[in-house]
């Protein structure tokens, strides 16, 4: 492992059958014998093992900070699917510091605060906190609120929540502060990045509001009982054009509703709410995050081209935010539900557009259970979006 005289960013991906071998191969491809400032590893559930995490860390020469998590699939310049993807960067001018907060050690807000405390170790001009939350835990916004309380308005937050391949089981996080490798279940990780060059962040989705606005007239947390004073389920089925008997098959409703979200009206755009369940008895629909009473909401329709192009759009935004600096590489976090909306061909097209937009710049990422971007305002948790972090 050599100290590289130049700043670099590498991506490696392996489909080898053995998790440890795949991890080692992906790490070697990303590192190419260079000493990394940070290792970031994403692995599908079959690969998300202690052996894989140790192999990645070992292949990087040990004594390197590492974060990572399980996913609903990974992708890189050469494709997507179940694999191990390793992203690494190093060279002069980088600072990194990492933290892990195990599940159950504190509430989610406190977990966000403890994780983001890694920022204390960073003094660089350009800073950000890369968060890997847990898509299986309850309201991840709480975790992001905690991180924001520590980072403040001066430091952007970016990242995503770990996924479990849509198995609804549990997620894994891979962590090393340099010494030893841990695999955590449903934890929260953070890496504070400092750089002498700018770091850019982007966010895009591709749904668009349609029809008239509705007011959420009765709701409790993520459950919406009434829209415009009418049973929310009735309004939702009517607006989305879904069959009246769709809710009688929860599986079919889930498949349909996850890609037909509601958008809450925000000053600077829409805040998407994934709907995943319906209750015929009380006429409610349930979303993944809180939907306050009195909120103004729109039914959102898919703009197929914009949804396909969202990953490319987010990456391009992130690169644009580098203030003219050349991108070394880009982290991309793409909501796993988008894949359902796009279908396999759409997902392939999205990947091609992303590669075209980045024109040879290395990139990698995973299909996530919630995306994190806080650059303006105080909220940072997003759904059905693509988040990107460009390293300059």
Partner 1 sequence: MGSNWSTLQLTEFFSAITRSGDVPGAAGLAVERAAEATEAEIAAVLAGGDLLACLGMGRDPRPAALAGVAAADECVTIAGLGTFHSTVHPLGDDTGGRLVLGRRDAAFEAEERQMLQGMAKVLGLALRGLRTLAAERDLRREREQQAEDRLVLVTALEKREQLLETLLQIQRAVSQRAPLQEVLDAVTRGAGAVLDGAPAALVLRDADHPDRTMVASLAPGHEAARHDPAVLGAAVRAMRKDHPVEHAAVLATPVHVGGDVAGSLVLGPVADTVRAGERRDVLLAFAEQASLALTGAHSIAAVRQAYHDGLTGLPNRMLFLERLDRALEVATRTRTRIAVLFLDLDLFKQVNDTLGHATGDELLRGVAGRLGAAVRGGDMAARLGGDEFAILLEPVADGAQAREVAERITQAVARPFTIAGNQVLTRASIGIALSDHATASGDALVQDADVAMYRAKKSRPGSCLMFEAGMRTDLLRHVALSADAAGAFEAGDFRLAYQPIVALRDARPVAMEALLRWTHPRLGEITPDTFVPLAEQSGLIVALGRWALREACHQLARWHAGGLPELTVSVNVSARQLADERLAADVGTALAEAGVPPAALTLDISESALTHDPGQVLRRLRALARTGVRLAVDDFGSGACPMAHLGRLPVDQLKIDNSLLDGVADDPRRLAIVRSVLELGRTLGLQTVAEGVAEPAQLAALAGLPCELAQGFLFAAPMPAAEVPEFVARPGLLGAVR
Binding site for partner 1 (CB under 8 A): 145, 148-154, 208, 212-213, 215-218, 226, 228-229, 265-268, 290, 292-296, 303, 305, 376-379
Q: How far is the CB of 150 from partner 1 (least distance, A)?
A: 5
Question: Residue 32 or residue 266: which is nearer to partner 1 going by CB?
Answer: 266
Is residue 242 classed as helix, strand or coil in its secondary structure?
coil
Question: Residue 35 or residue 208: which is nearer to partner 1 going by CB?
Answer: 208
Residue owning tokens 């660089």: 124
204, 378 contact by CB (below 8 A): no
Q: How many other C-beta atoms are found inside a 10 Å radius of the C-beta of residue 266?
A: 12
Q: How far is the CB of 145 from partner 1 (least distance, A)?
A: 6
Question: Residue 35 or residue 379: which is nearer to partner 1 going by CB?
Answer: 379
Q: How far is the CB of 303 from partner 1 (least distance, A)?
A: 7
* Token pair belonging to 110: 């406190």
Separation CA 63–CA 381 (nearest Å): 32
Q: How far is the CB of 62 from partner 1 (least distance, A)?
A: 32
- Residue 236: CA atoms inside 13 Å, Cβ hemisphere, count? 33
Question: Residue 104 or residue 213: which is nearer to partner 1 going by CB?
Answer: 213
Question: Residue 152 or residue 344: which is nearer to partner 1 going by CB?
Answer: 152
Residues 6+ apart with CB under 8 A from 148: 112, 116, 157, 374, 378, 380
Q: How far is the CB of 388 from partner 1 (least distance, A)?
A: 20
Separation CA 315–CA 203 (nearest Å): 8
* Token pair belonging to 27: 């790490």
């Amino acid at each position: 492992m050599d100290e590289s005289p130049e700043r670099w960013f590498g991506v490696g991906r392996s489909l080898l059958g053995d998790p440890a071998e795949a991890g080692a191969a992906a790490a070697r491809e990303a590192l190419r014998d260079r000493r990394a400032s940070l290792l970031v590893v994403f692995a599908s559930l079959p690969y998300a093992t202690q052996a894989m995490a140790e192999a990645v860390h070992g292949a990087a020469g040990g004594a390197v900070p590492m974060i990572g998590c399980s996913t609903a699939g990974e992708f890189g310049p050469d494709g997507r699917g179940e694999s191990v993807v390793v992203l690494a960067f190093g060279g002069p001018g980088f600072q990194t510091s990492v933290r892990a907060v195990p599940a159950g050690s504190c509430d989610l807000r406190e977990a966000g605060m403890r994780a983001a405390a890694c920022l204390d170790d960073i003094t660089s001009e350009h800073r950000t906190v890369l968060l890997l939350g847990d898509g299986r835990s309850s309201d991840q916004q709480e975790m992001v609120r905690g991180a924001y309380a520590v980072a403040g308005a001066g430091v952007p937050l970016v990242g995503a929540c770990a996924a479990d391949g849509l198995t609804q089981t549990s997620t894994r996080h891979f962590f090393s502060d340099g010494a030893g490798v841990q695999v955590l279940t449903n934890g929260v990780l953070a890496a504070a990045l400092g750089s002498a060059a700018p770091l850019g962040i982007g966010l895009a989705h591709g749904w668009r509001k349609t029809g008239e606005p509705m007011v959420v007239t009765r709701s409790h947390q993520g459950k919406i009982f009434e829209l415009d004073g009418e049973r929310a389920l009735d309004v939702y089925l009517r607006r989305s054009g879904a069959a009246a008997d769709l809710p009688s098959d929860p599986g079919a409703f889930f498949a349909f509703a996850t890609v037909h979200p509601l958008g809450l009206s925000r000053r600077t755009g829409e805040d998407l709410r994934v709907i995943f369940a319906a209750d015929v008895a009380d006429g409610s629909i349930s979303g993944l995050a809180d939907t306050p009473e009195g909120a103004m909401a729109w039914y959102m329709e898919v703009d197929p081209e914009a949804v396909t192009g969202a990953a490319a759009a987010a990456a391009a935004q992130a690169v644009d935010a580098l203030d003219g600096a050349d991108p070394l590489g880009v982290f991309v976090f793409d909501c796993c539900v988008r894949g359902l909306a796009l279908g396999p061909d759409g997902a392939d097209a999205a990947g091609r557009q992303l590669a075209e937009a980045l024109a040879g710049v290395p990139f990698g990422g995973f299909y996530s259970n919630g995306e994190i971007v806080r650059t303006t305002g105080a909220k940072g948790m997003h759904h059905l979006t693509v988040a990107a972090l460009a390293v300059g």
